[in-house]
Amino acid sequence: MAKIKPSKGAPYARIMGVGGYRPTRVVPNEVILEKIDSSDEWIRSRSGIATRHWASPEETVTAMSVEAAGKAIAEAGISPEQIGGVIVSTVSHFKQTPAVATEIADRITSSKPAAFDISAGCAGFGYGLTLAKGMVVEGSAEYVLVIGVERLSDLTDLEDRATAFLFGDGAGAVVVGPAQQPEIGPTVWGSEGDKSETIKQTVPWTDYRDGTVEKFPAITQEGQAVFRWAVFEMAKVAQQALDAAGISAADLDVFIPHQANMRIIDSMVKTLKLPEHVTVARDVETTGNTSAASIPLAMERLLATGQAKSGDTALVIGFGAGLVYAATVVTLP
């Protein structure tokens, strides 16, 4: 029997750079209220959202990703040609094939990297980060670009009072590369498919194509069920990620949860009993829920504003449609 040569990857992996892109159009709650019976006070009290960004026709999934990726690569201090893998998490790229990652890769580098899309909803960034870490440690790529990008305004039913105010657009990216010590902890991830009806697309694309329905498919959710699950079950997952990394809440500097809802974020902080010194990302107030893009966008803003700094220890957790989730502890770039 022939012996297969072992892979020669890095001992560990780390996030080397982060970048983000928010569309230029800022949409206040007043615009949302033009089509639903609600109020600015109600939206803010239920979600904490005051504004969100919506993309123009020119701000495509690809265009936003390229902008965010360029910033992350520059911050990482490498050349685009060193990128060996591009992983894109999105639910709002409307071509079944080819993967949008291939188009993005072609726009940013000539190195012909591995490129593929994943669909893991609001947990997509965590899934991509875990895959990238594996590629770097295994040795199939030295540097991997992970992008979370959404144009959820394309999938928002502006007449749905329960969800019209929630979603925004944007792209966030990180470069994952080699490290000599652990800087991305073990991932605690999983799925609860028995709850898949709580966040879903209203109808399949084929129903719209065949004329079974006249309204374009949109994202819908059972708000209270999602809230309960996120607060109670995801706090447990977050604690498991801390335990897997061998640290406690007191060791954290930063908490970056998926930016779904301010009430969910505040409740998780309370359930986890995070100390007052821990900086908590609350980017949802001005960016809305950007699904796979929310964690890297929030990470970038914390670093850019000085609320977090290079070397800080951060707990990140994403959760959403599926229902799926992923949590890990990272060192900020």
**Catalytic amino acids?**
122, 258, 289
Residues paired with 259 in a beta bridge: none
Cα–Cα dist 295/292, whole Å:
7
Enumerate helices (H) and strands (E) in the chain, giving the number of each: 11, 14
Cβ(12)–Cβ(181) below 8 Å: yes
Q: H helices within the chain, ranges in order?
A: 29-32, 40-47, 61-76, 100-108, 124-138, 205-209, 223-228, 234-245, 262-272, 284-287, 294-304
Cβ(293)–Cβ(88) below 8 Å: no
Which of 208, 231, 232, 189 lies closest to 322, judged by CA? 189
Which of 68, 58, 112, 73 lies closest to 90, judged by CA? 68
Residues paired with 151 in a beta bridge: 169
SS3 198: helix
DSSP string for 98-123? S-HHHHHHHHH-SS--EEEEE--GGG
Burial of 230 (0-12, 13-18, 19+ CB in 10 A): buried
User: Directed axis angle between helix 100-108 and helix 61-76, to 10°?
Assistant: 50
DSSP state, residue 231: I
Residues paired with 53 in a beta bridge: 26
Cβ(223)–Cβ(165) below 8 Å: no
